[in-house]
């Protein structure tokens, strides 16, 4: 049986961490960043499964404003007839850099028979200099991922810089083997290691 699950993927240059969790979103703790709030990056419904993604400043972020503004936490959640799942991924006191890659998180829900994945939702944030992202999917097809930029109001609310981001959902699985990011001139900033084990579902 294929249960609902969240994958946290922190693809920063010096860190490559993957964890599967089945926990509610962490609540804000009393800290210097507690007056900042999460802002919604995207929400919708795929195959009857609602999903949403948000971002905020990491609890305990650095006191230096320019550093703290590059220390986000991504939250994602999805719901299904049999419940749902939610999780959060943070930079863990590191920070986003153009050459360091993305902070990203996914969640998926099974079909009614729980034999395969019905939907996958994805959220990613990048340093402000990042202008474009390409994903190589299982099978070799390359997909361009459009990026948005946090508005000034969103950035103030979340206590972050005007980070680039994407949040979307797709029917079935979203199995990516490599990610690459580029600046406005088309120069590659970062290329991930092979992500197949982290992003592709295990065999049932």
What pTM was estimated for this model as a whole?
0.82
pLDDT confidence of residue 48: 79
Using one digit for the tens of pLDDT, what is the confidence trace for 54-88? 999 998 877 788 899 999 999 999 887 556 678 89
Using one digit for the tens of pLDDT, what is the confidence trace for 14-36? 232 333 332 333 333 334 445 89
pLDDT confidence of residue 22: 29
* Nearest C-alpha neighbor of 29 from the set 84, 88, 76, 69: 88
pLDDT confidence of residue 28: 35
Residue 86 DSSP SS3:
strand
| Contact predicate 33/68, CB 8 Å | yes
Backbone angles phi and psi of 8, in degrees to 5: -105, 125
CA dihedral (136, 25, 17, 163) positive or negative: positive
Low-confidence residues in the chain, pLDDT < 50: 1-5, 8, 10-33, 203-204
Query: What are the boundaries of each domain within the chain?
Result: 5-23+36-124+151-174
């Amino acid at each position: 049986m294929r249960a609902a699950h969240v994958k946290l993927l922190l693809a920063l240059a010096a860190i490559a961490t993957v964890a599967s969790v089945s926990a509610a979103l962490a609540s804000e703790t009393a800290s210097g960043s507690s007056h900042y709030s999460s802002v919604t990056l995207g929400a919708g419904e795929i195959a009857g499964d609602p999903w949403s993604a948000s971002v905020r400043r990491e609890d305990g972020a650095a006191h230096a404003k320019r550093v703290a503004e590059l220390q986000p936490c991504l939250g994602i959640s999805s719901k299904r007839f049999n419940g749902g799942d939610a999780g959060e991924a943070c930079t863990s006191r590191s920070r986003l850099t153009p050459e360091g890659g993305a902070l990203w998180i996914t969640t998926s829900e099974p079909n009614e028979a729980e034999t395969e994945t019905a939907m996958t939702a994805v959220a990613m944030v990048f340093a402000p200099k990042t202008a474009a992202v390409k994903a190589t999917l299982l099978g070799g097809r390359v997909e361009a991922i459009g990026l948005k930029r946090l508005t000034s109001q969103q950035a103030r609310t979340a206590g972050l810089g005007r980070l680039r981001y994407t949040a979307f959902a797709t029917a079935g699985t979203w199995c990516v083997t490599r990610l690459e990011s580029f600046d406005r001139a088309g120069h590659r900033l970062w290329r991930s290691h092979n992500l197949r084990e982290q992003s592709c579902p295990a065999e049932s």
